[in-house]
Amino acid sequence: MSLAPCVVVVHRRSELDELLDQHGTRGQAEFFLRSRGRSLHDVQRPHDALHLALSEVSAAIPVDWRRGSTERADLPRFVFEPGDVLVVVGPDGLVANAARYLDGQLVIGIDPEPGRNAGILVRHEAAQAQALLVAAVAGRAPVEKRTMVRAELDDGQQLDTLNEVFVGHPTHQSARYLLAVEGLGTERQSSSGLIVSTGTGATGWAASIAHDRAVVDALPRAGDRELAWFVREAWPSPATGASLTSGRLHEVEALSLVVESHELVVFGDGVESDRLVATWGQGIDLRISPRTLALVA
C-alpha cells in the first residue's frame, strides 16, 4: 500500500512575531515602532495576511494526505523526502531559501500579499492551493526547471543555490585569490569578492551589477542553462589584476579560485549563516549544478 502524498508548508516568521519575541508585549512593540517613526499597523497588516494565507493553505490540503511544516530558520535541519510537495508561503526569497535543500521535489509558491511581492517565484494566491496540490500530485501541473549554481570546495563540501553564490572575505575586507577561467586564463586578484548568478538571480544582485556596468544583456534568462559571473571592485596593482571581471559559464564550464587569504566564505542567496569556509590554498569551483528547482508554474 503506497503512502498518501505529503505536503510540507514552508513559511517565515512575520516581523510582528519577531518584535513580540524581542519586546514581550504588543504595547512594548508599539512603543518601539513609534520611536522609529512607524506604527503597529505597518506590521499588523502583513502579519494578518501571512496567517490568513497559511490557514487557507492548511485547509486546502486533503484530510487524508500527510502534512508537515517548517519555518525558514529550521530549513537546514528539516529532512525532505523525495516525494514531498512543498507549498512556500511568503516572498520570492523564501523559495530560494528552500531550494538549496531540495532535489527535484515540486514547489508551489504562494504569495500572501499579491501586489506587494515581486511574484516571480510565488505566483499563486492561497485560494488556488487546493487545485495546484491536486494537479501537482497527479502529474498534471506545468513545471519549470530552474537552473541552480553549485560551489564545491576541494575537500568535497558543496553548496547549491537558486539565485547566486557569493565568494568573499567574511568581514568584507579585500578577498585575495587566484582566479582561473576556462578559455581566458588565470589572474591573481584582490577584490570585494565575486558572485556567480543564475537566470533566476539575474533579477536581483546580478541585475544591479550588470546595470552599473551597462552589460544587462550579459545576464542569462530564467530557463537558460548558463550562469553569469562578476568580480566586485577588482583592484589593479603591481601584484593583482583586473582584466577578468565578468563572463558567462555554460553547461560544462567552471570558474575556479585558489584562496590566498586567511579564509574566504562561500554562501548563497544572502544566507550567511549557512556557508562554507575555504582557507588558504583551498580550491573552489563554481559551475551549473546538476540539481534544479522544480517550480509549479
Q: What is the pLDDT of residues 48-106, one digit of tens each?
A: 999 999 999 999 999 999 999 999 999 989 999 999 999 999 999 999 999 999 999 99
Give the per-residue pLDDT at 271: 83
Q: Which segments of the chain are extended strands (E)?
A: 6-11, 66-71, 85-89, 106-110, 143-153, 158-161, 164-168, 175-181, 185-191, 194-197, 227-231, 246-249, 255-259, 263-268, 276-279, 283-296
Give the per-residue pLDDT at 208: 85
Give the per-residue pLDDT at 38: 92
| Coil vs helix vs strand at 260 | coil
Residues 121, 127, 130: CA angle, nearest 5 degrees: 90
Spatial neighbors of 125 by CB under 8 A, at least 6 apart, are: 110, 111, 114
Residue 110 is placed in which grid cell?
504562494
Flag whether pLDDT at 118 surpasses 90.
no
Nearest to 196, CA basis, from 144, 266, 263:
266
Contact 33, 40 (CB under 8 A): yes
How are the residues of the chain apportioned to helix, strand and coil, as percentages rounded to the nearest 5? Answer: 25, 35, 40
Residue 177 is placed in which grid cell?
585569490
Note if the pTM is more than 0.85. yes
Give the per-residue pLDDT at 142: 95
Give the rounded distance of the alpha carbon of 172 from its chain centre: 20
Q: Which residues pair with 180 in a beta bridge?
A: 186, 256
Tell me 216's DSSP state.
Answer: G
Res. 205 pLDDT band, cuts 50 70 90: confident
Domains and CATH numbers, the chain: 6-141 (3.40.50), 148-290 (2.60.200.30)
**Residue type, position 83, single letter:** G
